[in-house]
Amino acid sequence: MELYLRNGKNWKIKQDKPRDQALAKKDIEILYFLWKWKAAGTATIFHALKLGASAPMLIRRLKKLAEREEIQYFTNNSAHPSMWRLTDRGYDTIFSRLGKLTNDYFGSGDGLRDRSALAIQLGEWHLHSIKMEHISAQELSSRPMDYFPDWVPNHAGHSPMGFSKFPDGSVIAYEVEIKEREYFYYKQILDWYAAAKKFERVFWLIGDKNIPRQILDIANSNDVSAFDNHVFISLEDYACHGWDAKIINGDFSIRDDWERRIGIILRAQDGIHEYPLGAQVHFDPRKMIGV
C-alpha cells in the first residue's frame, strides 16, 4: 500500500475552475472522510456518513468518484482488508477545504492498522445521538498544533492513533498494535503518557496476545498508578463483538465503560441484519452493500 506525497512544487497552484465544481456535497464529504481516516470500507462510509436509506445510491456515488479517479478501491492479501482510499486527484479536489497543513502526506501505509484505528474510534457511534468529537491519526500527523481545540494534548513526542472527546469533557486516546514490538518502543510511548495530560482512558487494540504483558511489565517497573487507565482489547474479539468485546485486563466490556461514562444505555440495533450495524460494520469486507 502506498503513502502518497504530492509534488511540493505544484500542490498549491490554484486552478481556474475548482475541481469540486461538478461534485455534490455528499461526494465532497466522502472525499474528506477518506482523507481524515486514510481508508474505509463501503459499509463504514455508508453508516458513518449517514448517507440515507439507499445503499445502491452510495454505490453509484462511489462508482462515479472512482470513474473520475478521485478514489480507488484497493485489495491486498487476506491479512489486509479491501478498502476505498483517496487518490492524488481526489486530494487535489479537496485540498482548498482542508485548512492548515504541515505536510502533504495522506493515505494508508498499513491498511489493517488504519482500519482497526477507525473501527475502535468510530465504534458504533453512528447508531447513537451522543455528540462526540474525534481527531484522527491523519489529522494529528498533518496539522499544526495551533489548529486543534484546547482539549487535544501536545503530541510532539508521540502521536497516538487518535483522540476522542466525550460530552462531559473527558478525553480518550487510542493505540493500535497489530504485532509485538521491541521494549524501547513501548517504553517511549508509556513515558509520553506518564508526562502527558491525564486521559480518562487509553484503549489499546491489539493483534498479539503478548503485547499487554510486555506493556504491563514496563508499567510495573514505573509508577503503576500512572497507567491504571490503560486497557487492552483483542482485535479478533473486537471484530466479532464490537463494543461487547471484553477488556483483557478488566472485568467489563467497552460498552460497559461507555455507558458508565455517559450515564445512559447504549444498545446496538443489529438483530435483523446479515451484518451487525455496530462497531463490526467497520470490518465488513463487502465492496457492494444493499444490492
pLDDT in tens, 219-243: 887 765 667 889 999 999 999 999 9
Q: What is the pLDDT of residue 12?
A: 36
Q: What is the pLDDT of residue 20?
A: 55
With a CB cutoff of 8 Å and minimum separation 6, the contacts of 257 are 201, 231, 247
With a CB cutoff of 8 Å and minimum separation 6, the contacts of 222 are 190, 194
Q: What is the pLDDT of residue 235?
A: 96
| Grid coordinates of 176 | 493500535
For residue 218, the Cα-to-chain-centroid distance in whole angstroms is: 27
* CA atoms within 13 Å, Cβ hemisphere of 89: 9
Burial of 167 (0-12, 13-18, 19+ CB in 10 A): exposed
pLDDT in tens, 253-283: 999 999 988 888 887 554 444 445 789 999 9
**Residue 106 contacts residue 35 (beta carbons within 8 Å):** yes
pLDDT confidence bin for 290, thresholds 50/70/90: low
27 has a pLDDT exceeding 90: yes
Tell me what the pLDDT averaged over the chain comes to. Answer: 85
With a CB cutoff of 8 Å and minimum separation 6, the contacts of 132 are 125, 164, 165, 166, 167
Residue-range domain boundaries for the chain: 129-265
Q: What is the pLDDT of residue 9?
A: 33
pLDDT in tens, 172-212: 999 999 999 999 999 999 989 988 877 999 999 999 999 99
14 has a pLDDT exceeding 90: no
pLDDT in tens, 86-109: 999 999 999 999 999 999 999 888
pTM: 0.87
pLDDT confidence bin for 10, thresholds 50/70/90: very low
